[in-house]
Chains A and B, each alone.
Chain A
Amino acid sequence: MDLKELYQEIILDHGKNPRNLRKTENFNKDAKGHNPLCGDKVHIFLKIDENKNISDISFEGSGCAISMASASIMTDLMKEKKEKEVKELVDDFLQMIKASPEMKTKIISENEKTKLMSLSGVKQYPMRVKCATLAWHTLTSAMSNSEEETNTEKID
């Protein structure tokens, strides 16, 4: 185990200064997520335009460096993405965090993949995987406009 791998500079940077930590004006989709074991909370706001593109995405919440960094990097990446691309990215990211050594998607650049891969350090820390995935599960709920709060304890 290596703490430097878990707390890479990019994670500390996004964790301390999260991007898109605000509430989108006139959002048309949103969802709340909660990790009841540690109290991490995230609320994701989306503005999806008539062409089904994400024209804006933001979040509010509080939590550890990993969960804040994950929400920050994710929201940066999702801007201007199409609805179906979001699903592919979320699935690919979750696959990478749980099992796969790398991301397979062609939607994003290698540079962007490297950013996301910085979160893969949690693989060594099973109790912290949910910190990294909370925002992503919550985004999925927001896309389907689920009324139910995403609860990491109900997700495998």
Chain B
Amino acid sequence: MNINNIKKQFPIFNNKVHNNDLVYLDSANSSQKPQMVVDRIYDFYTKEFSNVGRSVHYLAVAATNLYENTRIMMQKYINAKDPNEIVFTKGATEAINLVANTFGQKFLREGDEILLTELEHHSNYVPWHYLRKLKGVKINFAEINNDGEITLESIEKSITPKTKMIAITHLSNVTGAILPIKEITSLAHSKNIPILIDGCQGAPHLKLDMQDIDCDFYAISCHKMYGPTGLGVLYAKKKWLDNLPPYQGGGGMIREVKKEGISFGDLPNKYEAGTMATAQVIAFGESIKFLNQIGIENIEKHESELTKYGEEVLRKNNSVKLVGNPKNKGSVLSFTLDGIHAHDIATILDEDGVAIRAGHHCCQILHDKLGLSATARASLGVYNTKDDLDKLNDSINKCKKIFDR
């Protein structure tokens, strides 16, 4: 598969935006979907639909097999030991809530501490915040350096004897910093602290090997991985899923239900209460196929070249200030423009068909630290080209023209 020709596989690019070709630079928010993923949803609903894991009829058995097949594909994709270490959730947000809730319930006491970083998305802060009120736990934040990075030293400095959980992002959705998660995991384990990685931005762009990283939990957002919305994956080591209490109660997750009491089902059913996002899970299998067909190494190389090119182009543009300067950087280009607010930039760029995000990107802690109320962010996906980044730069220049009148 030729990576330079990949746009053709994404039907969204057949549409015009304000009479212009779409330049989609908002993949950190959500990625576009290849035709094979869209087709899979249609085919499932038109030819194969049934609920899974319950009935014994032909369609139910076939749908259950398809659903479980995605679990195995995902296990292989991230090199988990056991398919039962893959739990489907409604999103990465739910995956993190699941861990915060069940781990907090069972293991956290008043005065215990959770270590996050200043880079965290609200979805890796707010779920832990609830434990402040419920359990009286304290939340600490490892500080970023001047380049918008989190170093191993910054984590080490912030660990105290009371730290009971470390929850950090793999790749910042604002500065693009890629954290040394393998080293941080090893540090955490040397102090007997479990670690959760928020992999929303890592999973679509970087090679994942759970045996190599060795983290306890890894949260994934499927809609950022060229997959459907309404679906996330929680990877968790089996020892945790066996020992943590269930999260939501309902059908499918139980073994026996009596008036006097209830016993719970085995993995993975224990954490998948109610009818799951069946079509999305099955279509997500196609996203994994899509990623495998291109090869994650090729994706990393393509996006890393594009990111470098984008940085170069924007650095040459004197009015642009890039946010953060991490040495190990993912495909995120956040920036500000002198005298022009990020929302005005986004509106003007949109007129040219250039889709970016403006605001605090669900990272208010980080924006407060940087002293910025909002930033503009161009984020890349497998379908982007150098031409897209040139168009971004042209539209930025148009902003200046409009504002300098």
Which residues of A approach B to under 8 Å, CB–CB? 1, 3-4, 6-7, 9, 12, 16, 37-41, 62-66, 68, 125, 127-128, 131
**A-facing residues in B338-385 (Cβ within 8 Å):** 339-344, 347-348, 351, 358-360, 364, 367, 373-374
Residues of A close to B343: CB separation below 8 A:
38, 40, 63-64, 66, 128, 131
Q: What residues on B are CB-neighbors of A6 within 8 Å? A: 347
B405 within 8 A of A: yes
From residue B87, how far is it (CB to closest CB) to chain A in Å? 31
Among B339, B348, B373, B403, the one with the most A-chain Cβ atoms within 10 Å of its Cβ is: B373
B359 touches A65 (CB 8 A): no
Are A39 and B360 CB-contacts (below 8 A) given A63-B341, A65-B341? yes
Residues B299-355 near A (CB distance < 8 A): 339-344, 347-348, 351
Interface residues of B (CB under 8 A from A): 18, 339-344, 347-348, 351, 358-360, 364, 367, 373-374, 402-403, 405
Q: Could you say which residues of chain B place their CB within 8 Å of the CB of A127?
A: 347
Residues of A near B359 (CB, < 8 A) are: 37-39
In the complex, residue of chain B having the shortest beta-carbon distance to the beta carbon of A6? B347
Closest B residue to A127 by beta carbon equals: B347
Tell me, in angstroms, the Cα distance from A7 to B339 when the chains sit together: 14
CB distance from B323 to the nearest CB of A (A): 14
Contact present for B351 and A7 (CB under 8 Å) = no
Out of B344, B351, B367, B405, which one reaches A39, CB within 8 Å?
Answer: B367
Chain A to chain B: the 8 pairs with minimum beta-carbon distance, closest first: A64-B341, A64-B343, A62-B373, A65-B344, A64-B344, A38-B359, A39-B374, A39-B373
Q: Which of A1, A7, A38, A66 contacts B18 (CB 8 A)?
A: A1
A65 touches B340 (CB 8 A): yes
Contact flag A41-B347 (CB < 8 Å), given A7-B402, A65-B340: no
Contact check, B339 vs A1: say whether CB atoms are below 8 A apart.
no
Q: List 16 A-B contacts (CB under 8 A).
A: A1-B18, A3-B347, A3-B351, A6-B347, A7-B348, A7-B403, A12-B405, A16-B403, A38-B358, A38-B359, A40-B373, A63-B343, A64-B342, A65-B340, A65-B344, A128-B343
Chain A residues with CB under 8 A of B403: 7, 12, 16, 65
Q: How far is the CB of A18 from chain B (nearest CB, A)?
A: 12
Asked if B339 contacts A16 (CB within 8 A), the reply is yes
